[in-house]
Amino acid sequence: MKTREKIISAALELFNEQGERTITTNHIAAHIQISPGNLYYYFRNKQEIVREIFKLYATELLERFSPPNKDKESLALLRHYLDSIFTLMWKYRFFYANLPEILQKDQQLHEDYILVQNKLRHNLVQIICVFTEMSLITISDDDMQSFVTTLHMVTASWLNYRTAMSLKTEVTEEVILQGMLQMIAMVKPRATAQGLEQLTLLEEGVIAMHQ
């Protein structure tokens, strides 16, 4: 792994473990045993590192939530998207847990975030449309935007909500699994009989991961 990649990887690890606000470039440099001067050769400041991590996140987000292949088995599709929610929220948990503060510090990052999220919303609408065509859920065109907005909002703000509602601020895998269950609960009322059966299977799988 090249030095630049080591810096990004170390920053992501430290941000997730200790929070972005508490970590400095000196901490990152010490973590991979390089001098601060060596780190500054690649990044002028911590904010540039945060931006690079966001680029990785954005690429993975849009790849994982691209419109599905309709020929793929429906349960596998549902599982793929649910697993993607867990993977992204855990891998980039510092970003989800402290999103407003991170964006407020960097206007360019905030603008990039909005662009990526708008692309994601477009993809989510297409994904929901495919699920309706597969007879997994029923939703009218009039309700589509509101439904997608609610799903999007809960995913983006779940870690903020959970940390605010607990005296313990640590983000654990269990907290993210609870978010997955919440997403399933939101989709269930719109599910067809076939969709409900498959969502129940997914729900049982998530609950099993809790135990």
How many C-beta atoms lie closer than 10 Å to residue 149's C-beta? 12
- 35: which DSSP letter? -
Q: In this structure, are 24 and 73 located in the same domain?
A: no
Bridge partners, 137 (sequence order): 191
Q: In this structure, are 39 and 109 located in the same domain?
A: no
Q: Which amino acid is at 93?
A: R
Two structure tokens written together for 171 = 């983000």
Distance CA 90, CA 88 (A): 5
Distance CA 173, CA 191 (A): 27
Distance CA 110, CA 102 (A): 8
Yes or no: say if 96 and 158 are a contact pair by the CB < 8 Å rule: yes
Q: In this structure, are 4 and 99 located in the same domain?
A: no
Q: In this structure, are 23 and 71 located in the same domain?
A: no
Kindly report, residue by residue over 26-76, the tens digit of the pLDDT.
999 999 999 999 999 999 999 999 999 999 999 999 999 998 876 778 888
**What is the total count of domains within the chain?**
2
Q: In this structure, are 90 and 184 located in the same domain?
A: yes
CA distances from 146 to 128, 195, 207 (A): 12, 20, 28
Q: Which domain holds residue 181?
A: 46-210
Q: In this structure, are 14 and 114 located in the same domain?
A: no
Distance CA 139, CA 133 (A): 10
Give the mean pLDDT of 91-101: 92
How many C-beta atoms lie closer than 10 Å to residue 89's C-beta? 23
- 12: domain CATH number? 1.10.10.60
Kindly report, residue by residue over 131-176, the tens digit of the pLDDT.
999 999 999 989 999 999 999 999 999 988 888 888 776 788 999 9
Q: In this structure, are 184 and 82 located in the same domain?
A: yes
pTM for the complete prediction?
0.91
- 155: domain CATH number? 1.10.357.10
**The pLDDT value given to residue 123:** 95
Bridge partners, 101 (sequence order): none
Q: In this structure, are 72 and 7 located in the same domain?
A: no
